[in-house]
A and B are shown apart, each in its own frame.
Chain A
């Protein structure tokens, strides 16, 4: 079993929809939870990170962490065609070893 599971998609939604992206994990030592966005032929870029459980909001993006269920989510409100990309979750235990999910491909149709 992988330490981090992420549905690869692809996920296709109409413009303006609310998008929900999710990851589950098995290692209870993870403390920092990150979401990266990766456009085709580019390196990943950090969207946001959260520490431990709770919610964090940044513009149209909201990250949620439920450590009791070992489940994290990224919500995108009012999705735009420019949001079409691969979204990667990542986790670390506070050390420097980082585990990434396989990524979910998102398509937002105009």
Chain B
């Protein structure tokens, strides 16, 4: 089954404790992206990747890091999480140029205390 998977689905952590949210896709897509979703603000793009070893900032990259060492994986790293990073996070992938027709993962709900 074609899908985007994220782990963990739920995470509660404390300020300053480094964490990684994994994202994997099995569709051989070149484009992958991370979003956060907050009430009233919709989805905001954090980082995106056009291919292996090629990443760029979205609208809200501060406090986040990404890497793309393999085509299928695109982990999101929070080196020192803060409470304002409490949010619902989505990973997405696309096989089309321009990032249209994105397939989304099920989401990761992160709470930073």
Is the C-beta of B101 less than 8 angstroms from some C-beta in chain A?
yes
Judging by beta carbons under 8 Å apart, are B48 and A97 in contact?
yes
Given contacts A6-B42, A31-B98, A96-B33, contact A43 B106 (CB under 8 A): yes
A93 to chain B, nearest CB (A): 8
Judging by beta carbons under 8 Å apart, are A96 and B101 in contact?
no
How many contacts A-B (CB < 8 Å)? 71
List chain A positions with a Cβ less than 8 A from chain B. 6, 8, 31-32, 34, 36, 41-46, 49, 88, 90, 92-103
List chain B positions with a Cβ less than 8 A from chain A. 4, 31, 33, 35, 40-45, 48, 50, 56, 58-59, 90, 92, 97-107
Q: List 20 A-B contacts (CB under 8 A).
A: A6-B42, A32-B100, A43-B4, A43-B105, A45-B104, A88-B43, A92-B98, A92-B99, A92-B100, A95-B99, A96-B33, A96-B50, A97-B48, A97-B58, A98-B33, A98-B45, A98-B99, A102-B41, A102-B42, A103-B42
